[in-house]
Structure 1
Amino acid sequence: MTIDPEQLGRSKSDLAKELRELRERAGLTGVRLAGLCSMSQGTISKIETGKKIPTLTEVELILRAVNAPEDVIAEISALARSANTQWQDVRASWRLGLEKRQSELAALESGARELRFFLPAMLTGLLATPEYVRASLDYSPGDISKTVARKLERQTVLYDASKTFTFMLTEQAVKWAVVGPMAMSVQIERLAALSHLPNIRIGVIPFGSLLSRGPMNTFTVYDDRLVTVETFTGRMVFQDPRDVAEHLEVFSTYEGAAVFDEKARTQLYEWSEMYRRDI
């Protein structure tokens, strides 16, 4: 499906309107539709008033209950997928201040118990040294000092023993030279040190690992309820359970190709030494 960021907000209200009209044309009350779909009447009401975004499964149940024709099913299903996707423009983040984005990320991390990060190109700020964080924000407009401070502050969540973190990194992500050789060596050894924490798993996928599926995007899965996918111009947020499940399946594929624990640390120290030889 082609995602038009301009349409994502409107699709939520459009979906509510279309579902309500389909129920009315079918001659069903909200109570009757709820019974046919094994939902509560309150859920149907919230969906039809736009207070709740229905999942694709809920939309399918409603469409079957109202005997919608195939062309309508295809149209409404596409609308539902758009409604379950959010687009967050990086330029809007710049206008509002990047530290606000850091607060949003901190809220997501605070509310999750299991966090999975797939990092094919660069490190996430949670794993970064102060020098790496500053260098990675060089392209950002304006004063980045508050954003750097907020990124480093977020790292305290790693020491919350009630949460588990799995970071999946390609060799490129580990070795991408954001800072100079000595700073890169220190950065890589920080990864090895963090991997000793009992609630953190750091997996690395060395070059040459046999994988038929290419690493297309950085993404993060929060529990089994939400996925964020990074692009150059912004990020998409997926909340539909099917989208979340697909990203978990992709994550599992890469997890099977990664090395962890002592094997990962051995690899990391080799890459760190590579940078030290360049000094």
Structure 2
Amino acid sequence: MSTHPSPGVQQAREALAARLAEVRKDAGLTKRELAVRCGWHESKSSRIENARTPPSDADVRAWCEACGAAGRAPDLIAANRASSEMYVEWRRLQRTGLRRLQESGAPLYRRTRRFRVYCSDVVPGFLQTPGYAAALLGTIAAFRETPDDVSDAVDARMRRNSVLREGDHRFAMVLEESVLRHRMGDAPTMAAQLGHLLSAMALPSVSLGVIPFTVERTIWPMATFTVFDDVRVHADSLDAAATLTQPSQVGLYIRAFQQLSGNAVFGAAARALVTRALATLDG
């Protein structure tokens, strides 16, 4: 097994190293002066700054304090902790099938109290029916050429989604209207899914908004993301799952969610959009 970090991990380490170098330069310190203040050898400063040696949390904290920038330490420590998990290839996540991927997220779902979910492409997993989930996960398994355990994965997703009705959890979700129109499965599958969305809107733990096609936007459509409490963001792309934990990153997504929510309609207006999408289905 290779001991070299993946390209994504190395990029994250290099980005962290560049930020630490910036902190040092802003303080007007040489690497030697920094090392003296931190009580370590000058070569350690160079290895960290050149991304050859990943720093510990204590190293990052000492670095910032030595530069008179202690306030920057929390963000940098979060970046340091996330560097080994920030980008995880979907193929590696899914190599043992989709069921395990669904089950792996269950502990995070159970301990999270406040979810903020924005979806621009498909119905949020929390609100998917078994039929819709099977259609979606089936396309993923086929595209990724992963083991065909779609049925087990759907069961795992439904178990995971029990948090929607159990425990002290709150869900704020915003969908683009296009999510209501994208056909995932046949017409009966989509009809059942849209009907389920209407039912979910009545749940006391759920706030569900839809951004209409016709709204004058104050923020652009973007990739799907989920904010877990105020401490973690999952942002998905075709080839990677990004886990973001830096306070500044999480804050940026929270601000984006607030603006997207401002473009959405809720209550009767949202239900009308779902009902309109239902009416366009071919029986």
State the TM-score, normalizing by the size of structure 1: 0.76
Give, in angstroms, the shift of residue 269 of structure 1: 1.4
Give, in angstroms, the shift of residue 217 of structure 1: 0.6
Q: Secondary structure at the match of 1:217?
A: coil
Partner of 1:87: 87
Structure 2 letter corresponding to 1:183: T
> Tell me, which stretches of 5 or more residues in structure 1 are unaligned?
31-47, 68-72
Give, in angstroms, the shift of residue 80 of structure 1: 7.4
Q: Secondary structure at the match of 1:26?
A: helix
Equivalent residue runs for 1:1-279 within 5 Å: 4-7=7-10, 25-28=35-38, 50=56, 61-62=64-65, 64-65=67-68, 81=79, 84-85=82-83, 86-139=86-139, 140=141, 141-143=146-148, 144-275=150-281, 278-279=282-283
Structure 2 letter corresponding to 1:5: G
CA contact (8 A) 2:103 2:157 kept: no
Q: Secondary structure at the match of 2:259?
A: helix
Q: Secondary structure at the match of 2:67?
A: helix
CA contact (8 A) 2:82 2:245 kept: yes
> Tell me, which stretches of 5 or more residues in structure 2 are unaligned?
1-5, 24-30, 41-53
CA contact (8 A) 1:225 1:241 kept: yes
Looking at structure 2, the residues matched to 26 and 227 of structure 1 have their Cα atoms a distance apart, in angstroms, of: 37
Looking at structure 2, the residues matched to 172 and 185 of structure 1 have their Cα atoms a distance apart, in angstroms, of: 15
Give, in angstroms, the shift of residue 238 of structure 1: 0.5
Q: Judging changes above 3 Å, is the alpha-carbon distance between structure 1 residues 78 and 113 closer, same or farther for their aligned structure 2 residues?
A: closer
CA contact (8 A) 1:106 1:154 kept: yes
Note the alpha carbon deviations across 1:205-259, whole angstroms, 9 max, x for none.
1101111432121000001000010001121010000000000010000101111
CA contact (8 A) 2:76 2:246 kept: no
Looking at structure 2, the residues matched to 49 and 60 of structure 1 have their Cα atoms a distance apart, in angstroms, of: 10
Q: Judging changes above 3 Å, is the alpha-carbon distance between structure 1 residues 165 and 65 closer, same or farther for their aligned structure 2 residues?
A: same
Structure 2 letter corresponding to 1:168: V
Give, in angstroms, the shift of residue 11 of structure 1: 5.7
CA contact (8 A) 1:12 1:53 kept: no
Q: Secondary structure at the match of 1:177?
A: coil
How many positions carry a matched residue from both structures? 246
Looking at structure 2, the residues matched to 80 and 131 of structure 1 have their Cα atoms a distance apart, in angstroms, of: 39
Note the alpha carbon deviations across 1:187-218, whole angstroms, 9 max, x for none.
11100101101110110111011114321210
Looking at structure 1, the residues matched to 263 and 277 of structure 2 have their Cα atoms a distance apart, in angstroms, of: 18
Looking at structure 2, the residues matched to 203 and 98 of structure 1 have their Cα atoms a distance apart, in angstroms, of: 29
Structure 2 letter corresponding to 1:129: T
Q: Judging changes above 3 Å, is the alpha-carbon distance between structure 1 residues 150 and 187 closer, same or farther for their aligned structure 2 residues?
A: same
Looking at structure 1, the residues matched to 133 and 226 of structure 2 have their Cα atoms a distance apart, in angstroms, of: 18
Looking at structure 2, the residues matched to 14 and 50 of structure 1 have their Cα atoms a distance apart, in angstroms, of: 12
Give, in angstroms, the shift of residue 150 of structure 1: 0.4
CA contact (8 A) 1:99 1:147 kept: yes
Looking at structure 1, the residues matched to 56 and 244 of structure 2 have their Cα atoms a distance apart, in angstroms, of: 18
Looking at structure 2, the residues matched to 225 and 105 of structure 1 have their Cα atoms a distance apart, in angstroms, of: 16
Structure 2 letter corresponding to 1:174: L
Note the alpha carbon deviations across 1:113-156, whole angstroms, 9 max, x for none.
10011001111222111111111012312222221110111121
Q: For structure 1, which segment, 226-235 or 181-190, has the greater mean C-alpha deviation from structure 2 after superposition? A: 181-190
